[in-house]
Amino acid sequence: MTRLTLIAELSIPAVPPSVNDYTERARNGGTILTERSREFKRTAYQSIGRHAPHKPSEKRIAVEVTIYAADKRDSDIDNRNKLILDALEEAQFIKNDSQVDEIHTYRGKEIVPGGRVDIVVCEIDDRRQLTK
């Protein structure tokens, strides 16, 4: 039986860019974060960083994400989680985003000026994994 232990319920007053707008080409031929991505990461850290635990979790993680759009334009919600998970890692809720075993992403039902992301982070306590 799988049990979840709540780590945090958080809100970020912004919506991350999609992975299509996540990075851009650098002058040296590599890739760098776009300004929109860097701005989202700053906003996310300012919003959730002060709520971080003293020590990041090292357990397996389940995350629930609700994305509230800033306007009525159609947008994909399936490709926005990368920056959200990066923000959880940077704020030290988790040690590494590779710990995330489950992620459920929902579209918020209302429009929120400026957009918003609500996040629920839980540790997975799976008794079946403990016996293996």
Question: What's the pLDDT tens digit per position in 23-68?
Answer: 888 888 888 888 999 999 999 999 999 999 989 999 999 999 999 9
Give the Å distances, CA to CA, from 48 to 45, 89, 106, 130.
5, 11, 20, 31
How far apart (Å, rounded) are the C-alpha atoms in residues 88 and 109? 24
* Cα R_g (the chain), whole angstroms: 16
Checking if the pLDDT of 126 tops 50, the result is yes
Q: Percent of the chain scored above 70 by pLDDT?
A: 95
Helix axes 35-48, 81-90, angle to 10 degrees: 50
pLDDT at 105: 96
Could you report the per-residue pLDDT of 61-111, keeping only the tens digit for each?
A: 999 999 999 998 888 888 899 999 999 999 999 999 999 999 999 999 999
Mean of all residue pLDDT scores within the chain: 90
pLDDT at 127: 57
**What pTM, to 2 d.p., does this model score?**
0.88
